[in-house]
Structure 1
Amino acid sequence: MGQNGQQATDGEARMSRFIRPEQTFPTLTPAEIERIRHFGEVRSYADGEFLFETGKPGPGMFVVLKGHVAITQRDGLGHVTPVIDQGPGQFLAELSQLSGQPALVDGRAEGDVETLLLPPERLRALLVAEAELGERIMRALILRRVNLIQDGMGGPVLIGPSNSAGVVRLQGFLTRNGQPHHLLDPARDRDAAEVIARYSPKPEDWPLVVAPNGAVLRNPNETELARAIGMIGGAKDDRVYDVAVVGCGPAGLATAVYAASEGLSVAVLDIRAFGGQAGASARIENYLGFPTGISGQALTARAFTQAQKFGADIMIPVTVKSLDCTRHDGAFAVAIDGSSPLRSRSVVVASGARYRRPEIANLDKFEGRGVWYWASPVEAKLCAGEEVALVGAGNSAGQAAVFLSGHAKKVLMIIRGGGLGASMSRYLIERIEATPNIELMFNTEISALEGDEAALLRRIRWKSRLSDDEDFADIRNLFLFVGADPATSWLDGCGVTLDRGGFVVTGAQSEQNQGRLVAPLETSVPGVYAVGDVRSGSVKRVGGAIGEGAQVVASLHGYLGDAAKPAL
């Protein structure tokens, strides 16, 4: 077989790895390239020159006019995996290029190459201005990210036992944020053994993380890992945003999408990942337009991408410390841990709620070591073929129980009350009742947790609330879905009124708002709004949160318009 025939065979083999390859790597027509030209500028590259490199900020989207570019994945251990060879008429980009985040792959010229380069802001302009062409490009960007994640070859390398608390924590963080990564078992993988021999980790050092640039971190926290792989962004300059949205759950994402699409400059901040609690839901079946259901990760990932498409600056993970409402220079100041304050003309509180911790002795000892507050595929792998316990009676608990039943041998659902009807949707109750490996235990509560020498959960004890009966089971994984408390401590001292439960009071409910015309979602501080689960009186449903996020944008326009008017 000749060289051209061999290249064709290799190319076909590579294409067969991809989901919907014809949509993942489409070829643009000459007419389409002409429509793109005024969004970009011509750039030329010599043989062997990199157009972009893993871990370095991506310059934008390239359209190949002449020559070929080899796309490869590279991890911190030096492994290079061919992805695809792209030639004339094809474009080089994935979701990172919407916001100028670090590239996840290498792109190197094979021979002399001529391209059109569209920086992130011009790429976003193209996607909005050219609806049909933009749809094809956006679909390709999404599919390319999906393929990179599923390949499990690039990104940071996690080295450690799969059931260690650090591994599960960081896998969950990377998965929730759509970041490619892979895990190596130190007991079986030669490369992992070599790294361990070099760095001699202690038990508290698990996992070791090898960043794409080769840097090795010992059991980093989420912020340290995000910084190592270039995830963390911040305000690009001293700009004053129109809207600062604190919280990247469904309500915050909806605010970002609608506000940014209507021309407002938007910054979104979150401490951990996009999607909030909804992003951890295995399946949402009562959201409008998805009759077969959709995972929380898939739903919120679409909104996350949509917000970036319209130009919202999304900053994850960042910890918001406080809000200064004095507006000395006409803007609110959002204090961020480790960074300068972010300034904005208005603020939307969408910080949701934090998982509630029931009063169980030694609970903190087993958190991340058998006690979990969400049920994702990462935790499900740890439960395969085992008996697990789950505490809770709301929709989140029901969704988690059904999801886990597909992995675990048995799910013990421990419910403090006498039934499910008061707190769970009927469709979930019927599904739970029809699932043979879910056992319901009403009027019951956890009384004790027991572990082994490594502080891993090994047994749970429970007792009846109607009698003195007690029992136990050897269970290594316990899931807690017992409600949540509002994440509002960062509002202390700002003058925003909270109710007795700590939720944000809005509209005419606030005593400070008596006597003045206020929008339904406005707080006691003009220019500060609240949406979603953090708001007092909200319905605590994904659909309601998204609706409020869309609704608040009209109020933002009104407030920002009035604020710009001169005083009479």
Structure 2
Amino acid sequence: MKKPVLLAVDDDPQVLSAIDRDLRSEFRRDYRVIRASSGAEALEIIKELNVRAEPLALVLADQRMPGMEGVELLEKTRTLFPNTKRVLLTAYADTEAAIRAINQAQLDYYLLKPWDPPQQLLYPTLHDLLDAWQATYKPRFQGVRVIGFQWSPLSHEVKDFLAGYMVPFEWLDVETNPEAQILLNSTGFTTADLPLVISEDGEALAHPERGAIAAKLGLASHASADLYDVVVVGAGPSGLAAAVYGASEGLKTLLVERNLPGGQAGTSSRIENYLGFPTGVSGSELTHRAWSQALRLGAEFLAQEVTSMCIQDGYYKVLTLANGSEVRTKAVVLTLGVSYRTLDIPGIDRLSGAGVYYGAARTEARSCDKGDVYIVGGGNSAGQAAMYLAAYARQVYIVIRGETLAASMSAYLIEQIRQTSNIEIMSFTQVKEVCGQDHLEELVLSINGQREVRKARALFVFIGAKPSTEWLNGTVLFDNKGYLLTGRDLVTDPRYAKHWKHPREPYLLETCVPGVFASGDGRAGAMARVASAVGEGSMAIKFVHQYLDE
């Protein structure tokens, strides 16, 4: 963290040099001294410090300056830095005005010119003021800050994107946080420009798209090589495992992800049945470890969407990205995962991202403080979300169509839920409608066939998943639910056998296109568990080696 700033302001060059010299002589070990030759220049410095979240400990300003007097500057300083110590530097003739300013503008002190010797007339006063500032000073957050409206779907998307890449950020709700409005004013933007992402260097992005945020984070959007040994499409557990093993075994490996690393597993608040983590591990932590491991071993990562795939010269696979660029590779591992199914009820589209969320949406947990939240679904993901949200919400309701969770949720989760006092299971219940103006306010429920309206802070939906394989239609084979067919299924089922043209049998995880493999939840017959997805991603690299050695 940078040292707190002492700002000296005077339009007289000789006086400014003298105060700068004396401040540096006494305080440079613990503070950074900056000087300005006018009130306007000083105000710009103060605004920049505010945007960059740098601490401003003290402003020492001369009273008689053209354009902006010292008292006016110090009053403006208080708006941006309420706790900064403000000292007026004045001549003996202006003593009465200085005392009046202390009373009216709530200045902290005034000093007379000249202040020689500073050991008696300057330093004792400033030491007292700085000691008082240090006693109450709380370091501001250093990193990315996001200003927005709590119920803005775009604000939710920005927060989820940053959280998905484990970027520490500070969320500032412009409607409830006074600091948010002060910071917004200092950037020159207005509420019409929200959400606003302010990077650590002070640059502000208004209404940012994912691509702009990704670029600011240093995420690549174009491949660096003309040809790869293997391209892994999808950075869920299976894709991350494939990238780790591909890179570690010397293959030139590219990992491409359109959304966030980790997939659905990455949003889990706690995975407790994954081997090697006896106390459990959050999905984001597991994802970050695997992602860092893949990059360390030499895998390249692109934050991009693949829109199509074709075969060139009967061997090379050409992937077209959403930005129009192409990637050539010898082999492909499709780890496409699945996406949450949506509720088809009145109001759901309008309130999505504004109180209605698909998946765990951990970035919204704190906004549920002392409210009632509802979770639709009875699988492990729903159970993990319930346990996480119970730490914030007044009450968590798990809405299920059937009688119990036993058929769809692991026993350890059911037992944890049973022991959590503010989680309630609502059996034989369905959500029929979501209501609210600009955000979710009420749910219309059918409980044992009886209609009931309830207040709700948020609704989290976990009602099953569908494979994210639409863009491959016409390239590889799916089953009737859209899952990728691989291995023996391609030759034993007469409906698909005619599509396999290679003289050898397909490898276990190989699709109908030689050299194109599939693993993880998007593959037909896969087990929806993190451990099995990791295993399949690792196995896929073994078959990539066999294919490349042909």
Q: Give TM-score scaled by structure 2 length.
A: 0.71
Alignment correspondent of 1:490:
471
- Contact between 2:50 and 2:183, CA under 8 Å: does it hold in 1? no
Alignment of 1:104-503 (within 5 A): 153-186=141-174, 187-189=177-179, 191-195=182-186, 198-202=188-192, 205-212=193-200, 214-237=202-225, 239-316=226-303, 318-324=304-310, 326-328=311-313, 330-452=315-437, 455-464=438-447, 467-494=448-475, 496-503=476-483
1:371-422 Cα offsets, whole Å, 9 max, x none, are 0112244111011111110000111011111111111111111002232222
Taking structure 1 as reference, are residues 76 and 182 closer, same or farther at Cα in structure 2, changes over 3 Å only?
A: farther
Q: 2-side partners of 1:377 and 1:266: how far apart?
A: 31
Distance in 2 of aligned mates of 1:357 and 1:425 = 23
> Displacement, 1:537?
0.6
- Deviation string for 1:31-82 (max 9, x for gaps)? xxxxxxxxxxxxxxxxxxxxxxxxxxxxxxxxxxxxxxxxxxx999234479
> Is 1:504 matched with 2:487?
no
Question: Contact conserved, 2:400 with 2:428, CA < 8 A, in 1?
Answer: yes
Other structure's SS at 2:406 match? coil
Q: Distance in 2 between matches of 1:482 and 1:269?
A: 27
Structure 2 Cα separation of the partners of residues 534 and 75 of structure 1 = 48
Q: Aligned letter for 1:407?
A: Y
| Partners of 1:536 and 1:505 in 2: CA distance | 6
Q: Distance in 1 between matches of 2:199 and 2:424?
A: 43
2:529 is matched with 541
Larger deviation, residues 220-229 vs 240-249: 220-229
Query: Contact 1:331–1:343 at 8 Å: present in 2 too?
Result: yes
Q: 1:152, 1:534 → 2: CA distance?
A: 44
Change (3 A) 1:401 1:509: same
Superposed displacement of residue 227, structure 1: 2.5
State the AA in 2 paired with 1:489: E
User: Could you report, residue by residue, the CA deviation over 1:343-366 in whole angstroms, capped at 9, with x for unpaired residues?
Assistant: 111011101011110211221101
Matching residue of 2:51: 77
For residues 524 and 76 of structure 1, do their structure 2 counterparts lie closer, same or farther at Cα, with a shift above 3 Å needed? farther
SS at match of 2:538: helix
Q: Does the Cα contact within 8 Å between 2:372 and 2:395 map onto a contact in 1?
A: yes
Kept in 1: contact 2:151–2:439 (CA 8 A): no
Letter in 2 for 1:210: I
Count of residues in Structure 1 that have an aligned counterpart in Structure 2 = 418
3-state SS of the aligned residue for 2:445? strand
Q: Distance in 2 between matches of 1:329 and 1:412?
A: 54
- Shift of residue 552 of structure 1? 1.0
- Matched residues in 1 for 2:336 and 2:446: separation? 35
Kept after mapping to 2: 8 A contact 1:76/1:212 = no
8 Å CA contact 2:52–2:201 kept in 1: the answer is no
**Aligned 8 A contact 1:76 1:215 in 2:** no
Closer, same or farther: CA 170–389 of 1 in aligned 2, 3 Å? same
CA contact (8 A) 2:147 2:184 kept: no
Q: Work out the percentage of aligned pairs sharing the same amino acid.
A: 38
Give the distance between the partners of 2:331 and 2:278, measured in 1 at CA. 37
Q: 1:185 to 1:412 in 2, by over 3 A?
A: closer
Q: In structure 1, what residue type is equivalent to 2:444?
A: R
Paired with 1:185 and 1:403, the residues of 2 have a C-alpha distance of 22
Task: Find the aligned partners of 1:558 and 1:330 in 2 and give their Cα distance.
Answer: 15
Are the counterparts in 2 of residues 248 and 269 from structure 1 also a CA contact under 8 Å?
yes
1:436: how far off? Answer: 1.6
Larger radius of gyration: 2
On the 8 A contact 1:283/1:295 being kept in 2, the answer is: yes
Displacement of 1:340: 1.2
Q: Match for 1:507: what amino acid?
A: G
CA contact (8 A) 1:163 1:382 kept: no
Cα distance in 2 for residues equivalent to 1:214 and 1:558 = 50
Consecutive unaligned residues of structure 1, counting only runs of 5 or more, are 12-73, 83-150, 563-568
SS of 2:51's equivalent in the other structure is: coil
Which AA in structure 2 matches 1:484? A
Match of 1:557 in 2: 545
Given that residues 75 and 212 in structure 1 are in contact (C-alpha distance below 8 angstroms), is that contact kept between their aligned partners in structure 2? no
Q: 1:214: Cα distance to partner?
A: 4.7
The residue that corresponds to 1:521 in the other structure is 509
Q: Deviations over 1:311-367 (max 9, x none)?
A: 000112x1111111x223842111101141111110111010111102112211011
CA gap of 1:216–1:377, structure 2 versus 1, over 3 A, is: same
Query: Following the alignment from structure 1 to structure 2, what is the Cα–Cα distance between the partners of residues 75 and 556?
Result: 53
Letter in 2 for 1:398: G
Using the TM superposition, give the Cα deviation of residue 211 of structure 1 relative to its aligned residue in structure 2, in angstroms. Answer: 4.0
Deviation at 1:184, TM superposition (A): 3.3
User: Aligned partners of 1:363, 1:522: CA distance in 2, in Å?
Assistant: 39
RMSD of aligned alpha carbons: 2.6
Secondary structure, aligned partner of 2:308: strand
Amino acid corresponding to residue 556 of structure 1 in structure 2: V
Cα 1:362–1:163 change in 2 (3 A) is closer
Aligned AA (1:320): V
Quote the Cα distance in structure 1 between the aligned partners of 2:293 and 2:451.
51
